Structure 1
Amino acid sequence: MFARLRRILGQFFSKSRKINNEPLNKVSLIVIILIDIFILVNVFTGLDDISRWHIAPSQAYPCYSEWQTYRTQTTKDKDYEFFRLSFPYENNTQSSFKQTYQQAESGHLGNVSETCLTYGGYKDKVNNSANQQILKTIAQKQEKISSLEQANRTIRTQYDSSLLEKIAGQSRDRSINSVGAEKAKQALEQNTRTISTLAKEISNLKSELIAKPESLSLIAFVKDDGNFREVEKGYQQASFWYPSIQFGFQSLFLLPLIFVALLVHNFAQRKGYGLISLISWHLLVIFFIPLILKIFEFLQVGVIFQSLFDIISVLFGGLLFLISYVYILLVPLVGFGIIKFFQKVVFNTIPLLSLSEYNE
């Protein structure tokens, strides 16, 4: 097998730098390399574009991440936090959430979940100017509280120092602090009262926001276990199949190019068209490089990997390192298949015949 591999590599390098068995000059070789780089970049660009042709799971189920975050939160103000994260007032453009979700279908295969579109409609009802103003007011009051708390920390430091100076009998004009102990204490008490007032106002605003009919309808829809299970199941299935779908589209992009390049290469060799044979050979190699990379990438994240992962998880529990054993056996088989393909199809004996032998 190693001898065959060495022979294939020798043929590969020989075919890559010769025209009719004559070596390329340096200028021609540089031109060929530049063309190879240009085409390879465009091939990978095309692969990236076609891999995103089918709608991604996060686009098909745009509500899943928000629902998942909401349902896993255990904080007291989880309803308000849900609104704060879902309706950021500072970036509000008054755009429709439902329309934004539907835009993901434009230029893509697949559809957005109807449940998420319904969810977007509920969000649109909540996303009005009055509710946005409430969120903005709450944020401003919280910023003011943070500022007062920072001021209190500074005052407490000065208060402790002023109190020590007072106990030591140091005169006020020799003090290193901007305020005396009495004034610091008064400022602390005033700021604390203001913080308490602001906190009550924030609590009232939160209750007002959550108690609105459109808000209650949205929260009730999100809390519906049936809706969540439907979205979660669809998202998981889409995530399971998405790498395989991407690999399928990428293969559809590459296989016609490989097929055409292979036909042109074999035809040029039979007819003795040296330059066409060389260029088509380089194109064939360029098209095979990303295909081989995508095959191995698919083996790591595609449906085969997921199926092996699930089977081993069920049969052997936490012994997931067994997947490595499977791949140690599987990958050489794939490599062997690639070698056999090059040996039987690309490096077959007919295209290697010279023009004179072909005429005979």
Structure 2
Amino acid sequence: MLNKIRRFWSQFFSKSGSINNQPLNKVSLVVLIVIDIFILVNVFTGLNDISRWYISPLQAYPCYSQWQNYRSQTTTDKDYEIVRSSLFNLINQTTQEQIYQQAEERHLGKVSQTCLQYANYQDQINIPQNQQITQNIEQKQAQVSQFEQSNNNIRAQYDSTLLEKIAGQSREQSINVVGAEKAKQELDQNNRRISTRKQEISNLKTQLVTKPESVSFLAFLQEDSNFNQVEANYQQASFWYPSIQLAFQFLFLVPLILVALLVHNFAQRREYGLISLISWHLLVIFFLPLILKIFEFLQFGVLFRFIFDILSTILGGLLFLVSYVYILLIPVVGFGIIQLFQKVILNTKAQAVRRVQDSRCINCAKKIRQHDTYCPHCGYYQYIECPNCHNLTYKYLSHCHHCGTFQDSSHNHA
């Protein structure tokens, strides 16, 4: 196995840095690397764009997070806060429903009808009269903050003014702005103002949440069936979204890989060295993101969630053991991918059959004469002795072409 890997890497680097078995000069190699980097960046850019072609769960269910936060809150002001969040300045007269629907533009998928209904309720609340109420509330809250800050400043000086009065120090010699008596009066007056403003704020909040449009919106939010439908659909969309992204990324990469592979095989048959080299680099560049995306999917996709759910049920709180499973699982999957390439895509025997039929070198695929023992291009020895009839037969082929005896694969590598 180790010899196979060494031979694979040796062939890979030899193929990636030579034209017609001649090594590239340094300038050509630098140009080729620059081209590789440029194409690789554009491939990842294209993958990123196409992965967002299908709308995400957050775009399909834009009301879910805010709705969930509302239902999980226990504060007394949660009705007011959810209504207040529905009030915003209209930009180009764009409603909340239209903002939600914009996610469908130039994307596949649909926005949840329940979330569009949610946005419609918000648009009914978002009127100038209600916006004025929230502005009045904000102004009064700012006044409360000012009065509280004033009280804090007075209290900071109150102790020292009280000591000055006990010591009999004259008011003219005091370093404090307000005397002890006046400080007490201002504190009491500010506390009354704060109390009044808070009561006014409470009344305005009650006025806002009891508006007919607010009552309808809150009734919609508190209906369990509405939220449960959105939550279930959101969870399902989140579960399948990585798989959908991977499918679209495959859709982007597979045509590029097929074209590069066809061009590479054609260039090798016609001995177009430079085209063969560039198409080989393109093939590697297109395969690299594909493999990375597969491993990313294994880490975060449906398979990960499925394994995680099973192991979390079995292991209970020992979820760190999931990492051990993945540390073992990922190398096994990687080994399977390597075996796939070795046996199917880059199968030495399959390549040898095609090259012998076309009178090409088994190693470098260059044209040779039918009975050449060594390749004049790479010097590779083409034959091996048959263990049965002892005649020379082609390497890597399944049977001797003299006596038809089966050729053991280990004998081919001898």
Structure 1 residues 178-229: Cα deviation after superposition (integer angstroms, max 9, x where no partner): 2211222222122111111110110110010011100000000000000010
Alignment pair present for 1:190 and 2:189: yes
Identity of aligned residues (%): 66
Structure 1 window deviating more from structure 2 (346-355 vs 147-156): it is: 346-355
Pick 1 or 2: higher relative contact order, CA cutoff 8 A, min separation 6: 1
Structure 1 residue 312, shift from structure 2 partner? 2.1
Gaps of 5+ in 2: 356-361, 372-414
TM-score normalised according to structure 2 size: 0.82
For 1:247, the equivalent position in structure 2 comes to 246
Gaps of 5+ in 1: none
For 1:290, the equivalent position in structure 2 comes to 289
TM-score normalised according to structure 1 size: 0.94
Residues 161-310 of structure 1 correspond to what in structure 2 (within 5 A)? Answer: 161-310=160-309
Q: CA separation in 2, counterparts of 1:104 and 1:50? A: 15
Q: Report if the CA contact (8 A) 1:52-1:246 is conserved.
A: yes
- One-letter amino acid of the structure 2 residue matched with residue 33 of structure 1: I
Residues 1-360 of structure 1 correspond to what in structure 2 (within 5 A)? Answer: 1-87=1-87, 89=88, 91-93=89-91, 95-344=94-343, 345-346=345-346, 348=348, 349=351, 350=355, 352-357=363-368
Larger Rg computed on CA atoms: 2
Q: Report if the CA contact (8 A) 1:262-1:346 is conserved.
A: no
Structure number with the higher helix fraction is 1
For 2:400, the equivalent position in structure 1 comes to none
Q: CA separation in 1, counterparts of 2:238 and 2:315? A: 24
Structure 1 residue 267, shift from structure 2 partner? 1.9
For 2:387, the equivalent position in structure 1 comes to none
Specify the SS of the correspondent of 1:357. Answer: coil
Specify the SS of the correspondent of 1:54. Answer: coil
Structure 1 residue 272, shift from structure 2 partner? 1.2
Structure 1 residue 274, shift from structure 2 partner? 0.9
- One-letter amino acid of the structure 1 residue matched with residue 107 of structure 2: H
Q: CA separation in 1, counterparts of 2:47 and 2:337? A: 21
Q: CA separation in 1, counterparts of 2:26 and 2:233? A: 57
Structure 1 residue 359, shift from structure 2 partner? 7.7
Specify the SS of the correspondent of 1:252. Answer: helix
For 2:404, the equivalent position in structure 1 comes to none
Structure 1 residues 358, 53: CA separation in 2 closer, same or farther (over 3 Å shift)?
farther
Q: Report if the CA contact (8 A) 1:155-1:184 is conserved.
A: yes
- One-letter amino acid of the structure 1 residue matched with residue 294 of structure 2: I
Report the number of matched residues. 358
Structure 1 residues 352, 341: CA separation in 2 closer, same or farther (over 3 Å shift)?
farther
Q: Report if the CA contact (8 A) 2:86-2:125 is conserved.
A: no
Structure 1 residue 32, shift from structure 2 partner? 0.6
Q: Report if the CA contact (8 A) 2:161-2:174 is conserved.
A: yes
Specify the SS of the correspondent of 2:62. Answer: coil
Structure 1 residue 297, shift from structure 2 partner? 0.6
Structure 1 residue 117, shift from structure 2 partner? 0.9
- RMSD, aligned α-carbons: 1.8
Structure 1 residues 75-117: Cα deviation after superposition (integer angstroms, max 9, x where no partner): 0111011122332x4x553531111111111111111111111
